[in-house]
Amino acid sequence: MAQDRITAPLKLLIIGGSAGSLTVLLKVLPALNYNVSLSIVIVVHRKNTPDSTLADLLASRTKIHVKEIEDKESLLGGTIYLAPPDYHILFENNGAVSLDFSEKVNFSRPSIDVAFESAAEVYKERLTCILLSGASSDGVKGLAEVKRNNGNFAVQDPSTAQAPYMPQQAVNKLHPNTVLTPEAMIGFINGL
Amino acid sequence: MIEDENIDILVNDVFELYGYDFTEYSKASLKRRISRLYTLDKFPSFAELRYKIKNDPGYLKRFVEEITVNVTEMFRDPSFYLALRNEILPKLGTYPYIRIWHAGCSTGEEVYSMAILLKEAGLLSKSIIYATDINPDVLEKARVGIFPIANMKLYSENYIASGGRLDFSSYYSANYDGVKFDESLTKQMVFSAHNLVSDGSFNEFHLIVCRNVLIYFDKQLQDKVFQLFDKSMGKLAYLALGSKETVKFSSIHLHYKQVGKEKIWRKTE
């Protein structure tokens, strides 16, 4: 298993969101610069419909290549990946992503906690996680794990969130240094 | 969270002592499942978990059951079952008999879904469904065919979305909080333990169904399993995978052609 010890050199940004997060994504993504050393993964709660058009919708708003994650796909820089509906995503030591159809976590699949926790140990300080609007308690435990592994994290300013519960939980429990309005998020991500 | 080195140690223990080979499973998945079990069963330390696994064969059963994911549902991805019903079963119906292999069938929900499709197509009596899993305990549940009544609302909706036209509840009898599926469905099923890592081909099939199993394997093991399936399929046989799985990047892809939009491939030679 020697190959497992080679870690990917890329930086990784995971954006997790639930209710009210799509409007933020539609505001932020069009303003992002192409960054060849950054992979962006979006984990949002959504319904599992057969023809999922979220990837198309997001792709129409940004110059950056957008695609849904496929099992064992190796993450590339300069790309926005979307977690498919009804699967958790797990990060492998060799830069690949695995899909997982195990039990829902926080009534959610994909679960933001699962994605954050799995990435935290693999990417450590090369990881940044942002938690957006949502009415769920998903994501906060994952952010704590990111913090413990010296990763960076930021939270949407709850006063700007359509559903403030999720980011507010993170603010209360983790006291993040970085609380961002959607406008400020653009500069924050472009600075990564 | 359990450290990577400790995952390797446990995987080696389990292989040496019991012969279950998890070395080519997805590392990220193993780590998550072992960490989950560690928390669920409240082990005070990794050493305690290791001791328990090494010295308690009864606990090993639990370990294997929890490390492998056993989440499934009836008529999962209804559009897949609609394609089976409309496009694949009419082709299979031209054969004098039909052999189907459900590899990694877990507690059997998808096996019963298949039996219902076959029954409605008038093909069940000339079909045999071989249902296999690494885990004998989940197979026993599949054989008994009792599922929680709370799931029936979802399954019934899935059934209708998959093109089902009958009253779904006509396939089972309810008893307290469980429902038992009709024995006429079970009659054509053969249940057997089979480990995709270490066991070989055991028959030639017209259709192999293996959904959401390969995602727990690393690339090398995925490819070995594709070769095992290839060896177990006759010409023009079908291979059906989970909605996010593909033959595309495997060494067998040249001899397989995708049928329609669903994750179903047909062997061309």
- pLDDT tens-digit profile of A161-175? 999 999 999 999 999
First to last CA, chain B: 47
Pair (B55, B15) in one structural domain:
yes
The confidence score (pLDDT) of residue B45 equals: 95
Residue carrying structure tokens 């359509």: A162
A138 labelled catalytic: yes
Dump pLDDT digits (tens) for B47-93.
999 999 999 999 999 999 999 999 999 999 999 999 999 999 999 99
CA distance B269 to B256: 8
Question: Residue B267 — pLDDT band, cuts 50, 70, 90?
Answer: very high
Question: Residue A4 — pLDDT band, cuts 50, 70, 90?
Answer: very low
Residue B96 sits at φ, ψ, to 5 deg, of -70, -30
Inspect the interface and report whether the beta carbons of B219 and A72 lie closer than 8 Å.
yes
Inspect the interface and report whether the beta carbons of A100 and B246 lie closer than 8 Å.
no
Q: Which of B48, B67, B86 is the last residue of a domain?
A: B67
Find the CB nearest A50 among B69, B79, B212.
Answer: B79
Residues A66 and A55 sit within 8 Å (Cβ to Cβ): yes
Dump pLDDT digits (tens) for A106-130.
999 999 999 999 999 999 999 999 9
Pair (B120, B246) in one structural domain:
yes
CA distance B142 to B123: 21
Dump pLDDT digits (tens) for A10-40.
999 999 999 999 999 999 999 999 999 999 9
Residues B222 and B250 sit within 8 Å (Cβ to Cβ): yes
> In a mutagenesis test of the B interface, which of A7, A100, A107, A124 is the best target, namely the one with the most B β-carbons within 10 Å?
A100
Pair (B206, B149) in one structural domain:
yes
Mean pLDDT within B163-186: 96
Pair (B162, B56) in one structural domain:
no
Beta bridge partners of B121: none
A45 labelled catalytic: yes
Whether residue A45 has pLDDT greater than 70: yes
Pair (B62, B119) in one structural domain:
no
Residues A141 and A120 sit within 8 Å (Cβ to Cβ): no
Residue carrying structure tokens 């935290």: A120
Mean pLDDT of chain A: 93
Pair (B123, B197) in one structural domain:
yes
Burial, B28: exposed, middle or buried (Cβ in 10 Å; 0-12, 13-18, 19+)? buried
Domain carrying residue B253 = 78-267
Does A128 contact chain B (CB < 8 Å)? no
DSSP H stretches of helix in chain A: 21-28, 54-59, 112-123, 140-148, 165-174, 182-190
Which of 9-38 (B) contact A at CB < 8 A?
23, 26-29, 31-33
Inspect the interface and report whether the beta carbons of B244 and A84 lie closer than 8 Å.
yes
Q: Which of B21, B40, B67 is the last residue of a domain?
A: B67
Residues B224 and B252 sit within 8 Å (Cβ to Cβ): no
Pair (B39, B82) in one structural domain:
no
CA distance A138 to A16: 9
Pair (B63, B84) in one structural domain:
no
Mean pLDDT within B192-214: 97
Tokens linked to B93: 């119906």
pLDDT cut 90: percent of chain A above it: 90
The confidence score (pLDDT) of residue A7 equals: 47
CA distance A8 to A12: 10
The confidence score (pLDDT) of residue A49 equals: 65
Find the CB nearest A99 among B23, B32, B244.
Answer: B244
Does B244 contact chain A (CB < 8 Å)? yes
Strand, helix or coil for residue A136: coil
Mean pLDDT of chain B: 96
The confidence score (pLDDT) of residue B148 equals: 97
CA-to-CA separations, A44 to A69, A79, B212, in angstroms, rounded: 13, 17, 21
Whether residue A2 has pLDDT greater than 50: no
Cα-trace Rg, chain A:
15
Pair (B106, B47) in one structural domain:
no
Whether residue A88 has pLDDT greater than 50: yes
Please indicate, yes or no, if residue B21 is contained in any of the structural domains. yes
Whether residue A140 has pLDDT greater than 50: yes
Pair (B47, B82) in one structural domain:
no
Residues B111 and B186 sit within 8 Å (Cβ to Cβ): no
Pair (B87, B14) in one structural domain:
no
The confidence score (pLDDT) of residue A3 equals: 47
Does A81 contact chain B (CB < 8 Å)? no
Please indicate, yes or no, if residue B166 is contained in any of the structural domains. yes
Q: Which of B45, B67, B89 is the last residue of a domain?
A: B67
Does A144 contact chain B (CB < 8 Å)? no
Q: What is the residue extent of each domain of chain A?
A: 10-190
Please indicate, yes or no, if residue B73 is contained in any of the structural domains. no
Name the nearest CA neighbour of A7 among A115, A119, A95.
A95
CA B97 to chain centre: 22
Inspect the interface and report whether the beta carbons of A92 and B77 lie closer than 8 Å.
no
Please indicate, yes or no, if residue B111 is contained in any of the structural domains. yes
DSSP B9-53: HHHHHHHHHH----TTB-HHHHHHHHHHHHHHTT-SSHHHHHHHH
> Parallel, antiparallel, or unpaired for β A96-100 and A73-74?
antiparallel
Inspect the interface and report whether the beta carbons of A71 and B218 lie closer than 8 Å.
no
Does B260 contact chain A (CB < 8 Å)? no
A109-143 CB burial, b ≥16 within 10 A, e <16: bbbbbbbbbbbbbbbeebbbbbbbbbebbbbbbbb
Whether residue B146 has pLDDT greater than 90: yes
Which of 131-150 (B) contact A at CB < 8 A?
none
Residue A108 sits at φ, ψ, to 5 deg, of -130, 145
Q: Which residues in chain A are contacts of B216 at CB distance < 8 A?
A: 98, 100
Does B151 contact chain A (CB < 8 Å)? no
Tokens linked to B124: 């069940």
Tokens linked to B197: 């890592």
Number of A:B CB contacts under 8 A? 64
> In a mutagenesis test of the B interface, which of A90, A122, A148 is the best target, namely the one with the most B β-carbons within 10 Å?
A90
Does A4 contact chain B (CB < 8 Å)? yes
Mean pLDDT within B141-162: 97
Burial, A70: exposed, middle or buried (Cβ in 10 Å; 0-12, 13-18, 19+)? middle
Pair (B14, B125) in one structural domain:
no
Whether residue B189 has pLDDT greater than 60: yes
CA distance B29 to B34: 8
Residue B226 sits at φ, ψ, to 5 deg, of -60, -40
Whether residue A8 has pLDDT greater than 80: no
Does A158 contact chain B (CB < 8 Å)? no
Instruction: State the CATH number of the domain containing residue B120.
Output: 3.40.50.150
CA distance B136 to B141: 9
Using omega within 30 degrees of 0 as the cis cutoff, is the peptide bond preceding A110 cis? Answer: yes
The count of domains in chain B is: 2
The CATH number of the domain covering residues in A10-190: 3.40.50.180
Does A53 contact chain B (CB < 8 Å)? no
The confidence score (pLDDT) of residue B269 equals: 76
The confidence score (pLDDT) of residue B1 equals: 72
Inspect the interface and report whether the beta carbons of B71 and A103 lie closer than 8 Å.
yes
pLDDT cut 90: percent of chain B above it: 97
Question: Residue B2 — pLDDT band, cuts 50, 70, 90?
Answer: confident
Please indicate, yes or no, if residue B72 is contained in any of the structural domains. no
CA distance B180 to B171: 9
Tokens linked to B49: 């978990």
